A and B are shown apart, each in its own frame.
Chain A
Amino acid sequence: MFNNIMVPVDLAHLDTLEPALSVVADMAKQYDARITYVGVTANAPTSVARTPQEYEQKLEAFAQDRHNVHGQPVSTKVYSSTDPIANVDDLLVKATKETGADLVMMATHLPSHLDAVMPSHGGKVATHTDVSVFLIRLTH
């Protein structure tokens, strides 16, 4: 059913993603799919990396790390932007096309009153792509 699972990750908040990442691993094993980890970062230096290239290396290392855990093939793609906070949704939609993913799995927060002003990224990606989207709600 699924051959290529796209997983957006935020390297600055990996600790909160752990539960979602293991669900992704189970899913990938179930369908024997490859996993594409996608990162969106700023052009300017950030807490994770001082350049987009450093971010790319860190994401690559993270992907290899995950590969060692679940054994499925992995790849990465990084998008850098002047204003990543504002552009992340558009870039993820673009990423679904460019990575050729047939399933997007991403962690998202619980729905809240703030969603009216600032919709969740997962919700927006689901609205704007035609591939399957699996949102993993982080209860914490």
Chain B
Amino acid sequence: MDNKPQDQSPDENAPSEGIPAPEGAANLIDTDYVIGQDNITASPMGIDVDLHGKVFIFSSIVILLFVILTLALQEQMEPIFNSMFSFLTTNLGWFFLLGANVFVVLALVLIFTPLGKVRIGGADATPDFGYAGWFSMLFAAGMGIGLMFYGVSEPLGHYGTAMGGITTEDGVRTDWAPLGGAAGDQAGAIDLSMAATIFHWGFHPWGAYAIVGLSLAIFAFNKGLPLTMRSIFYPILGERIWGWPGHVIDILAVFATLFGLTTSLGIGATQAAGGLNYLFGIPSGDTTLVLLILGITIVALGSILLGVDKGVQRLSQLNMVLAALLLLFVIAVGPTLMIATGIIDNLIGYVTHLPAFSMPFGREDANFSQGWTAFYWAWWIAWSPFVGMFIARVSRGRTVREFLISVLLVPTMASVVWMTAFGTTAIDQVVNEGITEVQDAALELQLFTMLEYLPLTAITSFVGITLVIVFFITSSDSGSLVIDSITAGGKVDAPKPQRIFWALIEGALAIALLLGGGLAALQTAALTTGLPFTLVLLVGCYGIVKGLMSEPRAK
């Protein structure tokens, strides 16, 4: 199969010479596995394919089965998924919280240890992307879309529950307030709600991404293993990762990525359509939704054909510029002074409340810690194979320290500024200007309602919708690249038609699920993969330390 050409080359790599190191010193893992050796290659109708037989076929079957089941037996499936997921968050919420804490602590500690000097890709490797392009891609893949929708609605939500204070029924808390709430205490409620929001968008999500990204990058670029989830398990399973244990990990990763993307695509299209309806009165019926998804898919296809450098990177940069403009605009025309002092206050509030928020055991605010925090953690962790793999792919040439600062600290700071600007403006409208429409609006419209009370509404809302759509395009095409590489056995140079195939599947699934119903059920199913991936990530933590210890450090 694919390794044939190697047999034709002369014995230039006689065993005595060993496999050459990556640029500068590094330690490749000694394995006889050749990437793509289990792949099926064919050329039906002139279209080249090169796929990992088992991973591709089994993940396709699982995906097909799930979609048919949720479409056909929607009423029966939805309660099953829902009870499965509420069982997880209620009984295993502590596990998500504990796991996420481990990721953050390890990532923070690594920044300050000598292991931070190890360079991804070998001691002399040079970065493939400049800072601007690299950081834009990290951010667009990691959370771009969420900031658009939760920037206003989450601070407002927490503010409301915190002001409401604690309510109990039969000794059980029925309120959703974070920690002990702040009944009737306006300043306290603002402090608590902003800290809680930043907590969900700060160190913890990025900690999970950093762990997956770093471990994959080290095992691919420094250890010479394929760029796919199973490689993280090498320190524990050894050569067994090439067999079924590895297939299962990869299939799970495909599942989480595809359904995470599809459900977000469906929900995002609903939200974008809601915005278009709100602004321009375009009917937000099925036709608009289908057209939106088709449009997003077509642009994503173009961007995939252009590749990472010219497609994903440029779109991500475009979005960074647009997002920065919107942010600056809100800061300038919103309550500027309040936002400026808020950034410092909220940062202090975040750090002060951090131990209480992240405590996995003995929580009294079960609704908040399970319904919000554990839910978010499951969501971030279910997304981590996708975001982590993409981050890994574009991070060659960075040192571990540089990587962690850029994946953990910088995005957290960006979240602090973003959430403060949008959250404070919205809360200010409610508290000081007595505008209640924002609070009363549907979740997906709260951003647009807030913008309506600021100048230049037409322009800013249009920028808002554009941001939502472009963030989806970048998610869709980086997701297709990731799924393609996993189903091709870790090949990053598999034929182009495969990428197109996955982008089309994402669009088609999103349309089918939107029209046929069942998006919510599938989202729950995707979230459920957060549990096995928490274990995968904990293994990743072990793998990172073990892998880094055997690497030479940059001078």
Q: Do A and B originate from a single complex?
A: yes
Whether a CB of chain B sits under 8 angstroms from the CB of A130 is: no
Q: How far is the CA of A52 from the CA of B22 in the complex (A)?
A: 7
Whether a CB of chain A sits under 8 angstroms from the CB of B306 is: yes
| Docked-complex contact B5 and A14, CB < 8 angstroms | yes
Whether a CB of chain B sits under 8 angstroms from the CB of A94 is: no
| Nearest CB in chain A: distance from B263 CB, A | 27
| Nearest CB in chain A: distance from B17 CB, A | 9
List the A side residues contacting B311 at CB < 8 Å.
Answer: 86
Q: Is the interface of B mostly helix, strand, loop or mixed?
A: loop
| Docked-complex contact A84 and B492, CB < 8 angstroms | yes
| Nearest CB in chain B: distance from A70 CB, A | 16
User: Which bracket fits the contact residues of B?
Assistant: 35 or more
Chain B positions 214 through 249: 1 when the CB is less than 8 Å from some CB of chain A, otherwise 0: 000000110011110000000000000000000000
- Nearest chain B residue, comparing its CB with the CB of A14: B5
- Nearest chain B residue, comparing its CB with the CB of A13: B5
Q: A11-B5, A44-B227, A44-B393 are in contact. Are A51 and B492 (CB under 8 A)?
A: no
| Docked-complex contact A62 and B396, CB < 8 angstroms | no
| Docked-complex contact B393 and A82, CB < 8 angstroms | yes
Kindly identify, within residues 2 to 42 of chain A, every residue whose CB is under 8 Å from any CB belonging to chain B: 11-15, 41-42
Interface size on A, residues (CB 8 A): 38
Q: Is the interface of A mostly helix, strand, loop or mixed?
A: helix
Kindly identify, within residues 123 to 137 of chain B, every residue whose CB is under 8 Å from any CB belonging to chain A: 128-129
Q: How far is the CA of A64 from the CA of B11 in the complex (A)?
A: 12
| Docked-complex contact B10 and A12, CB < 8 angstroms | no
| Docked-complex contact A118 and B496, CB < 8 angstroms | yes
| Docked-complex contact A62 and B20, CB < 8 angstroms | no
| Docked-complex contact B492 and A44, CB < 8 angstroms | yes
Whether a CB of chain A sits under 8 angstroms from the CB of B440 is: no
| Docked-complex contact A82 and B22, CB < 8 angstroms | no
Q: How far is the CA of A12 from the CA of B488 in the complex (A)?
A: 15
Contact of B493 among A14, A42, A53 (CB under 8 A): A42
Chain A positions 69 through 106: 1 when the CB is less than 8 Å from some CB of chain B, otherwise 0: 00000000000011111110000000000000000000
| Nearest CB in chain B: distance from A21 CB, A | 12
Contact of A57 among B12, B22, B46, B481 (CB under 8 A): B12
Kindly identify, within residues 20 to 55 of chain B, every residue whose CB is under 8 Å from any CB belonging to chain A: 20-23, 28, 34-37, 39, 46-47
Whether a CB of chain B sits under 8 angstroms from the CB of A43 is: yes
Which 6 A/B pairs are nearest by Cβ-Cβ distance? A86-B307, A50-B224, A61-B12, A47-B36, A14-B5, A83-B308
Residues of A that sit less than 8 Å from B by CB:
11-15, 41-48, 50-54, 57-58, 60-62, 64-65, 81-87, 109, 112-114, 117-118
Q: List 30 A-B contacts (CB under 8 A).
A: A14-B4, A14-B8, A42-B492, A44-B226, A44-B393, A44-B396, A44-B490, A47-B3, A50-B35, A51-B20, A51-B23, A52-B22, A54-B20, A57-B12, A58-B6, A61-B10, A65-B9, A65-B10, A82-B309, A82-B393, A83-B492, A84-B492, A85-B307, A85-B496, A86-B309, A86-B311, A87-B307, A114-B47, A117-B500, A118-B496
